[in-house]
Structure 1
Amino acid sequence: MTTTFFDELHGAELSGVAFKNVRLKKQILAHFANEGTTTLADLSKELNASIPKISDLVNGLIADGLAKDYGKSDSGVGRRPNLYGLEPDSAFFVGVEVKNFQVNIGLMDFKRNLIKTRQGIPYALNNTEDSLQALCAIIEDFIKTSSVEREKVLGIGVNLGGRINYKTGYSYSFFNFHEDPLSKIIEASIGIHTFLENDSRAMAYGEFCSGAVREEKDVLFVNLDHGIGMGIMVNGQLYYGKSGFAGELGHIPTFNNEILCHCGKKGCLETEASGEAITRIFKERLNKGATSIVTNKRPSPEEIKLEDIIEAANNDDTLAIELITEAGEKIGKGMATLVNLFNPELIILGGALASTGDYIRLPIKNALNKYSLSLVNNDSQMIISKLGQKAGVIGACLLVRDRLLAITS
Structure 2
Amino acid sequence: MTSSFLKQATEGNKNAILKQQIIRQYIFSGDSSITDLSRAVNLSVPTVTKLIGELIEEGFVHNFGEQGTAGGRRPNIYGLNPYAGYFVGVEIRTDSVVLAVVNFKGQLLADTTVDFLMDNDPHSLDRLCDIIRGFIDGHKIPHDKVLAVGVNISGRVNSQTGYSYSYFFVEEQPLTVLLGERLGCTVYIENDTRAATYGEYMYGDAHSEKTMLYINASWGLGLGMILDGKVFYGKSGFSGEFGHFPLLDNEIICRCGKRGCLETGASGSALHRLFLEKLRSGSVSMLSEKFNKGEEITLKDILDAVLKEDVLAIEILESVGHTLGKAIAGLINMFNPEMIVIGGLLSVAGESLMLPVRTAVNKYSLMLVYKDTQIKLSTLGERAGVIGACLLARSKALGFY
| TM-score between both structures, scaled by the size of structure 2 | 0.86
- Tell me, yes or no, if structure 1 residue 226 matches structure 2 residue 222: no
Who is 1:8 aligned against? 4
CA offsets 1:255-289 (integer angstroms, 9 cap, x no match): 23443322221221112321122223333444444
CA displacement at 1:343 relative to structure 2: 2.0
Specify the alignment match of 1:57 in structure 2. Answer: 54
- State the distance in 2 between where 1:130 and 1:193 align: 21
Partner of 1:363: 356
Asked whether 1:182 is paired with 2:175, we answer yes
Alpha-carbon offset, residue 374 of structure 1: 3.0
C-alpha change, 1:124 and 1:324, in structure 2 (3 Å) is farther
Which runs of no fewer than 5 residues in structure 1 stay unpaired?
A: none
Q: Does 1:97 align with 2:67?
A: no
1:117-136 deviation per Cα after TM superposition (whole angstroms, max 9, x unaligned): 114x3333444434444433
Which residues of 2 match residues 147-296 of structure 1 at below 5 A?
147-294=140-287
Q: How many percent of aligned residue pairs carry the same amino acid?
A: 40
CA shift, 1:192, in A, is 2.0
CA distance in 1, matches of 2:196, 2:301: 23
Residues 40-87 of structure 1 deviation map (CA, whole Å, 9 limit, x = unaligned): 99669856685785366234324xxx4333345667978x87554322
Measure the CA separation in 1 of the matches of 2:125 and 2:183: 12
**In the alignment, is the contact (CA less than 8 A) between 1:30 and 1:406 conserved in 2?**
no
| Compared CA separation, residues 263 and 179, structure 1 to 2 (3 A) | farther
**Following the alignment from structure 1 to structure 2, what is the Cα–Cα distance between the partners of residues 379 and 244?**
29
Instruction: Return the alpha-carbon distance in structure 2 between the equivalents of residues 406 and 242 of structure 1.
Output: 19
Out of 28, 36, 61, the residue aligned to residue 67 of structure 1 is 61
Match of 1:336 among 325, 329, 333: 329
The one-letter code of the counterpart of 1:60 is E
Instruction: Indicate how the Cα distance of structure 1 residues 59 and 317 shifts in structure 2: closer, same or farther if over 3 A, else same.
Output: same
The whole-number CA distance in structure 2 between the counterparts of 1:52 and 1:382 is: 42
Q: Which residue of 2 aligns with 1:109?
A: 103
Give the letter aligned to residue 394 of structure 2: R
Equivalence for 1:135: 128
Question: Cα offset for 1:251?
Answer: 0.3
Shift of 1:404: 0.6
Q: Unmatched 5+ residue regions in structure 2?
A: none
Distance (Å, rounded) in 1 between the aligned partners of 2:365 and 2:52: 56
Could you say what secondary structure the match of 2:331 adopts? helix
Change (3 A) 1:279 1:195: same
Residues 200 and 207 in structure 2, CA contact (< 8 A), matched pair in contact too: no
C-alpha distance in 1 between matches for 2:199 and 2:384: 5
Contact between 1:27 and 1:47, CA under 8 Å: does it hold in 2? no
Bigger shift: 184-193 or 302-311?
A: 302-311
Distance 2:18 2:116 in 1: 42
Residue 388 (structure 1) aligned with residue 381 (structure 2)? yes
CA contact (8 A) 1:25 1:61 kept: no
Separation in 1 of the partners of 2:160 and 2:10? 25
Counterparts in 2 of 1:108 and 1:365: CA distance versus 1, 3 Å:
same
Change (3 A) 1:152 1:322: same
- CA distance in 2: counterparts of 1:303 and 1:178, whole angstroms: 38
Q: TM-score by structure 1 length?
A: 0.84
1:88 is paired with a residue whose SS is coil
C-alpha distance in structure 1 between counterparts of 2:378 and 2:10, whole Å: 45
- Paired positions, count: 397
Change (3 A) 1:295 1:401: farther
> Structure 1 77/142 Cα, relative in aligned 2: closer, same or farther at 3 Å?
same
Return the alpha-carbon distance in structure 2 between the equivalents of residues 405 and 16 of structure 1. 11
